[in-house]
């Protein structure tokens, strides 16, 4: 791992089910709120709303994108409603924050959610100072991952070199465009059915079910790689 990460200057992270365990179940709360919004906006039953929600997610990448495309939904009103739930299941993540601080280079959030919600999550984790930039659904013009345009917008918004970047994401399908652009990819396995890779997927470089532990290994590898160089310099002196 050490040689593979020597060139990394940019550490890009998805938010939900990546920086915190899927067992926190925020997606369940969010899914309920999405269903409520769809049911109210379209004046349909809860069952019909769930069908629309799933259909739009599969077709457009997010329910929001489908609602915007087919029903002219205001994204700000939608996101404010959908993210209006407590984050009490989240716990502080000092170990993960400490690992982020040790990583060399830039740390960026790349999410299909919006920045206000991302900031709430980061504050709850006590990681609000861990990232220099949040590239959210507004920034990518509502073309969510895995739409390739979202990734090109990420590059434009941040100025990063994809060949010097690594992307962490819980939905395996969202790693494919990143890999195509030249990023190193890490799938964070939260044991979620819709996040699983297909049998023939070849766009995942690393897999982990524990982000902090994976970063421990990466940091150790990078430090180990640096020791011989320092020792050699001392010997030469």
CATH architecture of 2-22+92-231: 3-Layer(aba) Sandwich (3.40)
With contact defined as beta carbons under 8 Å apart, do 35 and 49 qualify? Answer: yes
Q: Domain limits of the chain?
A: 2-22+92-231, 26-82
Task: Give the residue-averaged pLDDT of 89-104.
Answer: 95
Q: What confidence tier does 230 reach under pLDDT thresholds 50, 70, 90?
A: very low
Task: Give the residue-averaged pLDDT of 137-152.
Answer: 95
- Is pLDDT of 205 > 90? yes
- Is pLDDT of 141 > 70? yes
Distance between CA atoms of 57 and 146, rounded to whole angstroms?
11
Give the three-state DSSP class for 198. coil
With contact defined as beta carbons under 8 Å apart, do 56 and 49 qualify? Answer: no
Q: Which residue has the tokens 């990546």?
A: 18
Task: Give the residue-averaged pLDDT of 24-37.
Answer: 94
What per-residue confidence (pLDDT) applies to 234?
Answer: 34
pTM value is 0.89
CATH 1.10.150.450 fits 26-82, yes or no: yes
Q: What is the DSSP string of 130-141?
A: S-SEEE-TTTTT
With contact defined as beta carbons under 8 Å apart, do 67 and 92 qualify? Answer: no
Task: Give the residue-averaged pLDDT of 21-35.
Answer: 92
- Is pLDDT of 147 > 80? yes
Q: What confidence tier does 199 reach under pLDDT thresholds 50, 70, 90?
A: low
Q: What is the pLDDT of residues 155-182, one digit of tens each?
A: 999 999 999 999 999 999 999 999 999 9
- Is pLDDT of 200 > 90? no
């Amino acid at each position: 791992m050490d040689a593979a990460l020597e060139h990394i200057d940019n550490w890009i992270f998805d938010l939900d089910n990546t920086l915190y365990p899927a067992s926190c179940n925020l997606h369940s709360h969010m899914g309920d709120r999405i269903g409520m919004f769809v049911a109210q906006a379209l004046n349909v039953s809860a069952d019909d709303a769930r069908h629309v929600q799933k259909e739009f997610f599969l077709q457009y990448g997010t329910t929001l994108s489908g609602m915007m495309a087919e029903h002219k939904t205001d994204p700000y009103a939608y996101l404010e409603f959908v993210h209006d739930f407590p984050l009490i299941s989240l716990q502080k993540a000092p170990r993960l924050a400490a690992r982020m601080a040790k990583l060399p280079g830039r740390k960026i959030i790349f999410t299909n959610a919006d920045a206000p919600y991302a900031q709430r999550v980061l504050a709850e984790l006590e990681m609000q100072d861990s990232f220099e930039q949040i590239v959210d659904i507004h920034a990518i013009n509502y073309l969510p991952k895995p739409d390739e345009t979202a990734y090109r917008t990420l590059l434009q918004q941040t100025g990063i070199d994809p060949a010097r970047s690594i992307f962490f994401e819980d939905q395996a399908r969202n790693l494919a465009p990143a890999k195509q652009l030249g990023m190193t990819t890490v799938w964070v396995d939260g044991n979620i059915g819709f996040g699983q890779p297909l049998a023939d997927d070849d766009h995942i470089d690393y897999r982990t079910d524990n982000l902090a532990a994976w970063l421990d290994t990466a940091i150790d590898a990078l430090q180990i790689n640096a020791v011989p160089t320092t020792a050699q310099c001392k010997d030469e002196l």
